[in-house]
Structure 1
Amino acid sequence: MGTPIAIAKKTANTQQDIVLHSQFANRHGLIAGATGTGKTVTLKVLAESFSRIGVPVFLADAKGDVSSLAKAGESNAKFNERLKILNIESIPFSSSPVVFWDLFGVQGHPIRTTVSEIGPLLLAQMLNLNDTQEGVLSAVFRIADDQGLLLIDFKDLKSMISYVTEHAAEFKAEYGNLSPASLGAIQRNLLALADQGGDQFFGEPSLNILDFIQTDSQGRGNINLLAADKLMNTPKLYATFLLWMLSELFEQLPEVGDMDKPKLVFFFDEAHLLFDNASAALQEKIEQVVRLIRSKGVGIYFVTQNPLDLPESVLGQLGNRVQHALRAFTPKDQKAVKTAADTFRANPEFKVNQAITELGVGEALISCLDEQGTPQMVERGWVMPPYSSFTPISLEERKALMAQSIVTGIYEQHLDRESAFELLQQKVADRQQQAVQAEQDKAQAKEQEALAKQQAREQERIAREQAKENERAAKQREKLIQDTVGTFAKSAARSLGGSTGQKIVRGLLGSLFGSK
């Protein structure tokens, strides 16, 4: 059996509470209304109430004022006047156990995830990619998986895109046409996201989503408060980040069936950002998560100005509704009023569409599931006052609470292990080294070839000179012989004298050179 949570007093009879039954809190809900009608106070009242019964909460602080949950409230004239209207004597002011988180690590503990964990579908939404570009991005992820390249942080993803761009022709046969235009668009959008600080979202240590499901020493559920004032400047990053957390919860939590109270209640503020320009595939994923995650014990409460911000397929799954005032000045406003009125089970005591435009600040039309899980008739009621302060905490108070947090020291130190960036850098270094070695080998071969040619020329020169030398030596020998014989002949002629001597010489010469 669940716990009834009093969230409002009936306007017509403030002695009667309007309650939300905790066993049906995982049937999701909606808090809607124009700016300044009391949505933030309703959000705080629900968050505090869930925390008090031991249910952890996650919510985003878009304007910085929800940090007041961490500080006990106090009486003032305006507050006391509201207590009189509600017939409440006093409020047990108290703070709630708040854990501060910040995507940028300034106003809370850092939140990170890896590129691989967020996946191509959500990343494509974050980068505003079209269907073709999303297909190319999916191929990049597939190539990284096939080549064992871990995509952890932003520089891993940038390096991987550059690597695929350089080798697109090689990958075409296996992964299809990887258009340079699409790869260029992805690179440009990555740079734009980095300029907005989105690169800080990727890295390690990655968030353990189960850290959101914790209670304090008194058994109260922790309220996990995301600083979203800066994050709202990048609405796609904000919406995709929250959707990623829902997906992580869906994947990691076991099926639990019906419970007395949820494991976690997740408030999705500025919910229209989730559905603006969402692709068909992404919207289908959102609807699937909303439909199935309640079986994991998680309740999702969408907070937005206009019920028309949500698709009908999602709106129809929201069992608990709080509708603050809407203004009906234009046809679109009137359509929104009619849509909001049609989602309630009618109450014969008043006209719902008329009441929506008449509600005062802090007043709402409320319909929750009854003890059998059936939508109750819509009631007009004053939202209960919160136990916490209306004044945001100071920076010093925030830092003090962060220092005492159960996750202090876990996520602050950024890790950078070897992943795609380092491996691709090594590949580049290896290719450069191979190129340098190839150039050196080529130069050495040329040098050896030149040396061989020079040696051949030198050998030819030596051979020519040797041949000339041999030729000169031969001529010198021949001349020497001739000179020797001639000298001998002349000497013999002089010695012998006369004709007899000449005959002998001729005979001798004839025997040597043939007869003349």
Structure 2
Amino acid sequence: MADGDGIFIGASADGQRQSLVLKRANRHGLIAGATGTGKTVTLQGIAEDFSRLGVPVFLADVKGDLSGIAMAGSPQAKTHDIFAARAKEIGEDDWSYSDNPAIFWDLLGEQGHPIRTTVSEMGPLLLAQLLDLNDVQEGVLTVAFTLADKEGLLLLDLDDLGAMLAEISARADELATTYGNVSKASVGAIQRALLQLRSQGGEHFFGEPALDIHDFMLTDDKGRGVISILAADKLMASPKLYATFLLWMLSELFETLPEVGDPDKPKMVFFFDEAHLLFDNAPPSLLTKVEQVVRLIRSKGVGVYFITQNPIDVPDTVSGQLGNRVQHAIRAFSPKEQKAVKAAAETFRANPGVDVATVITELKVGEALVSLLQADGSPQPVERTLIKPPRSRVGPITPEERATLRSLSPVGGKYDTPVNRESAFEKLAAKAQASTAAAQAQADAAPAASGKAPPPSTWDKMLQSAARSASSSIGRQVANEVGKQIFGSGRRSSSGGGLVGSLVRGVLGSLIRGR
């Protein structure tokens, strides 16, 4: 429910309402907590209200249970009694079930519209991270991008990149004076990494038609923001691809959208589940890129909310920019979890009435510690809060419901059919074919110009060899038969030899005529 100029999150035990100020929603946020503590329900309720207020939303459905946000909840659902009691307890008197406009996406193109970008748009930095390349290999990859740009060769899909790598390998000596050494071993390592990426379904992500980022920023005929849901359950098997895709999207938004400062409401809001995948084992250059994008994209009117089990999964340089925080329970059994409790407690504005380090381990399901930015930009003191229930269905929709919603999508005809136009792969293949034909023509023309017979082709050599083999075989058979007739059999026909005699006469006659 919209709460004045904000989004109602929940209420404390003493009835104090906690609301996300819409004008401060682009200052980013964090939803954290152990598995089963209510993070998904919290995310779902916040996303619903953003949509209802006309703000487009993007969320990654990692576990496959967020698709229900497209359908209204039901009084027959198992959670109905719990949600109805919670709504009454926190004073949400107008709570009722409702659906939300949604578009389903899938990098693999199975559970939603395919999302594609071109290799050129991805760029060498993100692609090197995706392929897990070292510094030398990243340098070789940059040479491929630079040469393709210089020679007007489009890098659209992985076939184009593979062909470009083969090209710089073949021209390594020529390119060394301009770009430095291009090691064939490095090229081979990149090609193997591309092969691994293909096996993980990465080839579906590169190609055309490329995604128009504005299709994530639609509203429906009622003025509600469309919720774009990325099916990421299978994508999680390729965490590098998932993390690189998320960062690419943020980069695209940053480069595409104009500066707006702090608008009355965000242009768009992103919810990134399993946020630790964006940061695990990331090189310093990539972390710097993430920090830069998160810091600057606020001025484009875009809010980014990270969802993770442990708040220490998010680096300090990024965590410090997350002004709106909802912290569900953390189970402090291990030293790492105890460290997480201490770290989480230190991120909240202190409240004398709340011992964060103690309470954070005692929170019930659907309860959280909440600290949100106020209208003046300062954080509220942390409060123990009962989170509001969502209005849409909790849990996944059926395949039939997904198919129906996909058939009604406003962007289906735009992306469902792939396009393969002429690019680096086709041009380099044509160039190689023309070079081979020219070399063959030159080789054929050289003997004719000198008056010598051209050397036999491979096909001619095969025919000559076969003829010699056959001739030798027949000769041996004739000799054997002649020997049998002359020296061994003792059997002659009355006319002077029959068939064998004819063969002997034929062979001897040829020899005599030859002489």
| Letter matched to residue 312 of structure 1 | D
1:287 paired residue number:
291
1:222-371 aligned within 5 A: 222-371=226-375
Q: CA deviation at 1:164?
A: 1.3
Alpha-carbon spacing, 1:312–1:398, altered in 2? closer, same or farther (3 Å): same
Q: 1:44, 1:386 within 8 Å by CA — same for their partners in 2?
A: yes
**Out of 164, 178, 182, which is 1:178 matched to?**
182
Deviates further, 373-382 or 161-170: 161-170
Task: Provide the residue aligned with 2:60 in structure 1.
Answer: 60
Alpha-carbon separation, structure 1, partners of 2:5 and 2:223: 15
Who is 1:191 aligned against? 195
Q: Residue 243 of structure 2 aligns to a residue in which SS?
A: helix
Structure 1 Cα separation of the partners of residues 331 and 135 of structure 2: 37
Specify the alignment match of 2:147 in structure 1. 143
What is the 5 A alignment of 1:21-36?
21-36=21-36
1:305-347 deviation line (CA, Å, top 9, x unaligned): 1111111110000100000110111111111111110000011
Tell me the residue number matched to 1:8: 10
Aligned to 1:112: 116
Which amino acid in the other structure matches residue 53 of structure 2? Answer: I
After superposition, where does 1:383-394 map in structure 2 within 5 Å?
Answer: 383-394=387-398
Code of the residue aligned with 1:170 in structure 2: it is E
Answer yes or no: is the 8 Å Cα contact 2:261–2:300 preserved in 1.
Answer: yes
State the one-letter code of the partner of 2:409.
S
- Cα 1:373/1:450, change in 2 over 3 Å: closer
Shift of 1:89: 4.8
Asked whether the 8 Å contact 2:447–2:453 carries over to 1, the reply is no
Structure 1 CA distance, aligned partners of 2:42 and 2:220?
Answer: 23
* 1-structure distance, mates of 2:74, 2:404: 21
CA deviations 1:234-284 (Å, max 9, x no partner) are: 000001001101000000000011211000001111111111121221111
For 2:402, which of 365, 374, 398 is the aligned residue?
398
Give the aligned residue type for 2:45: V
How far apart, CA to CA, are the structure 2 residues paired with 1:153 and 1:59? 26
Q: What's the CA shift for 1:441?
A: 1.2
The number of residues matched between the two structures is 448
Mind listing any 5+ residue stretches in structure 1 that lack a counterpart? 452-516
Separation in 1 of the partners of 2:4 and 2:259?
A: 19
Counterpart amino acid of residue 356 in structure 1 = I
Q: How does 1:343-492 map to 2 (within 5 A)?
A: 343-445=347-449, 448-449=451-452
Q: Could you tell me how far apart the structure 2 residues matched to 1:426 and 1:443 are? A: 27
Aligned match of 2:484: none
> Is the contact between residue 3 and residue 260 of structure 1 (CA under 8 Å) also seen in structure 2?
no
| Whole-Å separation in 2 of the counterparts to 1:450 and 1:341 | 90
2:126 is matched with which residue?
122
| Aligned residue type for 1:16 | Q
CA distance, structure 2, for counterparts of residue 45 and residue 440 of structure 1: 76
Change (3 A) 1:2 1:299: farther
Contact 1:2 1:260 in 2 (8 A): no
Give the TM-score taking structure 1 as reference length: 0.85
Question: 1:20, 1:368 within 8 Å by CA — same for their partners in 2?
Answer: yes
- Partner of 2:110: helix, strand, or coil? coil
Deviation at 1:3, TM superposition (A): 1.8
Q: Letter of the aligned partner of 1:308 in structure 2?
A: I
For structure 2, list consecutive stretches of 5 or more residues without a partner in the other structure.
455-515
Q: 2:207 aligns with which of 192, 203, 207?
A: 203
Shift, 1:78, TM fit: 3.3
**Displacement of 1:2 after TM fit?**
7.7
CA deviation profile, 1:193-212 (whole Å, cap 9, x unmatched):
00111011011111000111
**Larger CA Rg, structure 1 vs 2:** 1
Deviation track 1:13-70 (CA, whole Å, cap 9, x = no partner) reads 2x33210000000000001111111110011011101001000000100111000001
Asked whether the 8 Å contact 1:254–1:296 carries over to 2, the reply is yes
| Structure 1 residue 91 displacement after superposition | 2.2
Q: Which amino acid aligns with 2:39?
A: K
For the Cα contact (< 8 Å) 1:2–1:261, is it kept in 2? no
**Matched residues in 2 for 1:260 and 1:239: separation?**
30
Q: Which residue of the partner structure matches residue 40 of structure 1?
A: 40
Root-mean-square deviation (CA, aligned residues, Å) is 1.5
